[in-house]
Structure 1
Amino acid sequence: MFLAWQEIKKNKLRFTLITGVLMLVSYLVFFLSGLATGLADLNREAVDKWEASAIILTDESDKSLPQSFMSIDQLEDIDAKETAVIGQLNAIASQGDNKQNIALFGINQKEFLMPNVTEGRAFEEAYEVIADGSLKEEGFELGDELTLSSSDQRLTIVGFTDNARFNAAPVLYTNLSSFHQVKFGEAAEQNNDQINGIVVRDDSISNLTENDELESIEIETFIENLPGYTEQKLTLNFMIYFLFGISSIIVAIFLYVLTVQKISMFGVMKAQGISSSYLSRSVVAQTMILAFIGTVIGFVLTLISGAFLPAAVPVSFDLALMIIYGLILIAVATAGAVFSVLTIVRIDPLKAIGG
């Protein structure tokens, strides 16, 4: 470690370049991980807010809430501690020049799907809604009357809640009767028992229903089947994994070039009795120091960048995950020193010093 640190101090520019490259790679890895987490949250925030263990959908829905259609009477077929019915509709909400894709949730106010109100009040009358707080950033306010692309009914925002987006769309919560009026219009009375799913809280999700037309789906499985969720997550994760490999290759190339340039010096040191294992440990320690410094700087820069990003950028930093990625970066960078170690071991002192 002493030899490694002394060489770093002596050749500051050379090792600063290596540290800078590692810093940029780590910065990109941390930022991509924040982007992956942020985009995932956009899809699942409202579902996580349920704090549920499972959801009951029709067997033919392919685990899709909008494609599931059932009767509220089918609650009798569910054996669970807590249940909550939900209706769901995708639409475009407009207020003046403001337009926004939204997901409308029809719920019962006394059931656990009722969101906490952070501003305003809960819905009480027909066509009143609680909206996700992200709509405020788009110019929507309390008291705004919204028109929906799929209905002639107008909805009034009476409250806001936090962290309520479903499939990247802000959620509007309203009561079931208003939901039926919006979805079915004049046919609402004939369809006032229609819902899309039943959300369940129970210690066990097996044998929740014996109805062959219904399917019990674990919440995490339901989230993974949201349109684009898994594909988006896999794409960003593969980019991160490729960066790990790139980091290892870059460090290996830099250290190998430096080692080749110092072959004569290593030959003299070996001729003086310094063992190959000592020199190898010095190179590995040197790599760990550089990787640690570069990763820490990248970590700090990522957090600073995140503080200045506009709210429209869907970035959310999971500190525990970032620390894990940081440790992996240090490990793969250190693994990149293997080629240099092999070169040191093969150095013949006599040939290295021209004997």
Structure 2
Amino acid sequence: MKMAWKEMRKYKLRYTILGSIIFLISLLTLSISGLANGLSQDNAALIKNMPEGTFYMEDSAEENHSFSALSDEQISNLKEEDPNATLFSIQMGEFNDASDQKHSLAFVSASDNEYFPETESGEIVLDQAFEEEGFKIGDTISSGLLDKELTITGFAEEEKFSHSSVGFINNEDFFEMYNTDTFQLAFTTETDQPVDELSAFGNGDFLNTIPSYSAEQLSLNMIIIFLYVISGMLFAIFFYMINVQKLGTFGILKAIGVKTSALFKMMWAQMFIITIISLLLAVGISQLFNVLAPSGMPFHLTLNMVMLSSLAFIIIGFIGATLSGIQIKKVEPMQAINQGGA
């Protein structure tokens, strides 16, 4: 460690350049990770807030919940598997506030209140985003699909679907608004058994049925993977170039009895020092942005994501540095000495 730190101080410019590049890449990776998770929450928080279980949808809907409508027979078959299965529906819509301004909303209604807020006929519980816009409990809203006004009775935390805030309403009001008499979906934590004429989905699979969800997440995750690959290549190329310049030095050190493992440890120590300092700066700035980001920006960076990303950078840096150090093992002391020390 002492030898590694001494060399870094001697050639601080080259190591500062590498550290700066790793800092920028790690900051960009954390930022995109936060954006990907934020968009995921904004697109499907309603589903992600539910426990692990199984979602059921009508087969003929072809994985589009908007076209699904559970028949009495299908519901009966499902209830045989789990009498406490939750039936619910989701439909995109809009409402008008007191000043007749329109707002988009995903209306949600369920057969029970185990996973969703309880509402009576004529009531609605809105996502907390509307509270931040100035809506208050007791305010009334209206919809062109419903003859009566709905009174706001509460606000739910982080309830989004398809990039729209969610509004929970009573079954009676939902059925009247969308001219239906049944639910679109079912959810259970008790069984994952197949049911006739119903498609079953795990939580992750059901998320991918939401329009744009999989394409959105795949694009951002591909960018993150490429950034990890680039960081690994940078470590490998950087340490390879440095090691080539120090072949003579390595030969001298081997000639006086320094083991190859000690030279690898020096290189690993340099890699860890650069990576840790770069990550600490990147994590600090990303967490600050996570706190100061505007409420309307879909950015959500969790501690778990930060820890996983940091671990990934350390592992990739270790692999990249190790691959570049293969030449250290191969160098022959006398041959390297004849080439001249660095």
Check if 1:279 corresponds to 2:263.
Answer: yes
Computed over aligned residues only, the root mean square deviation of the Cα atoms, in angstroms, reads: 2.6
Q: Residue type of the partner of 2:105?
A: I
Check if 1:107 corresponds to 2:110.
Answer: yes
Equivalent residues of 2:146, 2:173 under 8 A apart: no
Q: Which residue in the other structure is 2:293 paired with?
A: 309
Check if 1:199 corresponds to 2:201.
Answer: no
Q: Which residue in the other structure is 1:94 paired with?
A: 96
Q: TM-score, normalised by structure 1?
A: 0.84
The 2-side partners of 1:217 and 1:177 are apart by: 27
Deviation at 1:98, TM superposition (A): 4.7
Q: Do the aligned partners of residues 63 and 153 (structure 1) sit closer, same or farther apart at CA in structure 2, a change above 3 Å counting?
A: farther
Q: TM-score, normalised by structure 2?
A: 0.87
Q: Which residue in the other structure is 2:17 paired with?
A: 17
Q: Do the aligned partners of residues 27 and 154 (structure 1) sit closer, same or farther apart at CA in structure 2, a change above 3 Å counting?
A: same
What per-residue deviation string (whole Å, max 9, x for no partner) do you get for residues 95-146 of structure 1? Answer: 23754321101234x542432xxxxxx533x332011112223343333333
Q: Residue type of the partner of 2:193?
A: S
Q: Do the aligned partners of residues 145 and 31 (structure 1) sit closer, same or farther apart at CA in structure 2, a change above 3 Å counting?
A: same
Equivalent residues of 2:88, 2:184 under 8 A apart: yes
Identity over aligned pairs, percent: 27
The 1-side partners of 2:153 and 2:73 are apart by: 30
SS, match of residue 85 in structure 2: strand
SS, match of residue 330 in structure 1: helix
Q: Residue type of the partner of 2:151?
A: T
Report how many residues are paired: 335
Structure 1 unpaired stretches of 5+: 116-121, 185-190
Q: Which residue in the other structure is 1:346 paired with?
A: 331
The 1-side partners of 2:202 and 2:325 are apart by: 49
Deviation at 1:335, TM superposition (A): 2.2
Deviation at 1:148, TM superposition (A): 3.5
Q: Do the aligned partners of residues 246 and 82 (structure 1) sit closer, same or farther apart at CA in structure 2, a change above 3 Å counting?
A: same
SS, match of residue 135 in structure 1: helix
The 2-side partners of 1:270 and 1:331 are apart by: 27
Equivalent residues of 1:54, 1:200 under 8 A apart: yes
Q: Which residue in the other structure is 1:83 paired with?
A: 85
Q: Which residue in the other structure is 1:42 paired with?
A: 42
Q: Which residue in the other structure is 1:135 paired with?
A: 130
Deviation at 1:232, TM superposition (A): 1.5
What per-residue deviation string (whole Å, max 9, x for no partner) do you get for residues 231-252 of structure 1? Answer: 2222111111111111012222
The 2-side partners of 1:132 and 1:103 are apart by: 10
The 2-side partners of 1:328 and 1:201 are apart by: 33
Q: Do the aligned partners of residues 325 and 50 (structure 1) sit closer, same or farther apart at CA in structure 2, a change above 3 Å counting?
A: closer
Equivalent residues of 1:91, 1:102 under 8 A apart: yes
The 1-side partners of 2:18 and 2:119 are apart by: 58
Deviation at 1:270, TM superposition (A): 4.1
Q: Do the aligned partners of residues 93 and 343 (structure 1) sit closer, same or farther apart at CA in structure 2, a change above 3 Å counting?
A: same
Equivalent residues of 1:70, 1:195 under 8 A apart: yes
* Among candidates 148, 153, 156, match of residue 161 of structure 1: 156
SS, match of residue 165 in structure 2: strand
Check if 1:323 corresponds to 2:307.
Answer: yes
